[in-house]
Chains A and B, each alone.
Chain A
Amino acid sequence: MTIDWASLGLVSVVSLAAGVAVVVLVSFALVGLSARVRPRPGGAEDGAPTLSAGAGTAIAAVCLAAVVAIVGFGLYVIVS
Chain B
Amino acid sequence: MTAPVDVSLIVIVVVITALVFDFTNGFHDTANAMATSIATGALRPKVAVLIAGVLNVVGAFLSVEVARTISSGLVDEARISPVVIFAGLIGAIIWNLLTWLLGLPSSSSHALFGGLIGATVVAAGLGAVHFGAVLSKVILPAIVSPVLAGIIALTATYLAYRTTARADSGTVTKGFKAGQIGSASMVALAHGTSDAQKTMGIITLTLITAGVLSPDSGPPFWVILSAGLAIGLGTYLGGWRIIRTLGKRVSEIETPQGFAAEASTTAVILTSSHLGLALSTTQVATGAIFGAGSGRRLAAVRWSVARQMVVAWILTLPAAAAVGAVAAWVASAGTVGIVLVAVVAIALAAGIYAVSRRRPVTADNVNDVGDDAAVAHEPAVPAR
Write out the residue numbers on chain A whose beta carbons fall within 8 Å of the beta carbon of B168: 33-34, 37, 39, 45
In the complex, are the beta carbons of B163 and A18 less than 8 A apart?
no
Whether the pair A16, B148 counts as a contact (CB closer than 8 A) is yes
Contacts of B183 in A (CB 8 A): 22
> Is B310 in the interface zone, CB < 8 Å from A?
no
Give the secondary structure class of A's interface. helix
Count of A-B residue pairs with CB < 8 Å: 138
| Residues of B with C-beta under 8 A to A26 | 160, 175-176, 179, 259
B266 at the A interface (CB under 8 A): yes
A interface residues, how many (CB within 8 angstroms):
39
Write 22 A-B pairs (CB below 8 A) sorted by A numbering: A3-B135, A7-B275, A10-B271, A11-B268, A11-B275, A12-B144, A16-B152, A16-B267, A18-B267, A19-B153, A19-B266, A20-B155, A22-B267, A23-B259, A26-B259, A30-B164, A30-B171, A30-B175, A74-B270, A75-B189, A78-B59, A79-B63
Q: How far is the CB of B158 from chain A (nearest CB, A)?
A: 10
Chain A residue with the shortest CB-CB distance to B274: A77
CB proximity to B under 8 Å, residues A24-80: 24, 26-31, 33-34, 36-37, 39, 44-45, 48, 71, 74-75, 77-80
Specify which chain A residues have a CB less than 8 angstroms from the CB of B273 in the assembled complex: 78
B156 and A20 contacting across the interface, CB-CB below 8 Å: yes
A27 touches B163 (CB 8 A): yes
Known A1-B136, A7-B275; contact A74-B156, beta-carbon cutoff 8 A: no
Q: Which residues from chain A contact B132 at a C-beta distance below 8 Å?
A: 1-2
Contact A19 B267 (CB under 8 A): yes
Tell me the smallest distance from the CB of A30 to a CB of chain B, in Å: 4
Other than the given A31-B167, A34-B167, A36-B171, 17 more pairs (CB < 8 A) read A1-B135, A3-B140, A4-B136, A15-B148, A15-B264, A19-B152, A19-B156, A20-B152, A22-B267, A23-B260, A24-B160, A26-B175, A27-B160, A30-B176, A37-B168, A74-B266, A79-B62
Question: Chain B, 261-302, contact with A by CB distance < 8 Å: what is the 0/1 string?
Answer: 001101110111111010000000000000000000000000
Q: What B residues does A36 contact at CB under 8 A?
A: 171
Residues of B within 8 A of A75 (CB): 189
- A73 and B298 CA atoms in complex are apart in Å by 33
Please report the C-alpha to C-alpha distance between residue A36 and residue B171 in the assembled complex, in whole angstroms: 9
